[in-house]
Amino acid sequence: AVASKPAELELRRDAIAQKLTRRGVDKKPLLKEYDEVEAELKACRLTKEQRELIEGQMEAVMDCLCHVVPQGHETAVQRVVSCLEDPSFDVRMTALKNIVRIAGKASKFAKGCIAMRLSSLNTYTRWSAAECLLVMDSKGDRELLSQILVHIDSTDRFVRQDIVGAMVGVMVDDDYRLVVRHLGTPAMAEKLK
């Protein structure tokens, strides 16, 4: 018989609790793991209506944060970034929409978090991430450019279009010649010499 997810989580939680009673054990990581398992267990027990209510509240809080905390507020940025991993698609999209507003257009941390979403299995998430990168102040950011170029051959044309737009926003003048030389025809490359 296959155990249900709540039953598996309860067993895991109990095993962690047992480790916590031992002497000489570093309790800090165990307590963190215990809290994570406990939160996941509570989430399993929520009804659909409760989950939707919580998701709506999370979205509203993120929308309000950008109006009440100063841009770049570290705790607010961390909370919004944690919502990028939320199981709810709507919460993830709200977090993606607000990360730029809360972290700031020049935030290297926000750029990295957004660029990671270019690898999402969900097309809309990839597209939203590429859209976010369009508004970032990224001119000359070589690290971001390399992250973007990995996704330049996306199979979704809307994602690809925004990735090209984000790439153009990152490139500096000398980069254009290199791109045309690399992607263009031999005749175009010859003209650039």
- The three-class DSSP label of residue 153 is coil
Q: How far apart are CA 163 and CA 182, in angstroms?
A: 17
Could you tell me which residues come within 8 angstroms of residue 82 by beta carbon, excluding any fewer than 6 positions away?
Answer: none
Closest CA to 163 of 182, 176, 144: 144
Question: How much is the pLDDT for 120?
Answer: 86
As a residue count, the chain comes to: 193
Cβ contact 151:129 at 8 Å:
no
Question: How much is the pLDDT for 4?
Answer: 61
**Owner of token pair 């705790």:** 75
pTM listed for this prediction: 0.61
Q: Which tokens hold the place of 170?
A: 């990152």
Q: How far apart are CA 81 and CA 19, in angstroms?
A: 31
Question: How much is the pLDDT for 193?
Answer: 65
Cβ contact 129:118 at 8 Å:
yes
Cβ contact 95:84 at 8 Å:
yes
Q: Over the stretch 117-139, which tens digit does the pLDDT of each residue have?
A: 888 888 888 888 888 888 888 88
Mean per-residue pLDDT pooled into runs of 10, the chain (193 residues): 66 84 82 83 77 83 85 89 84 88 88 88 86 85 85 84 86 79 70 66
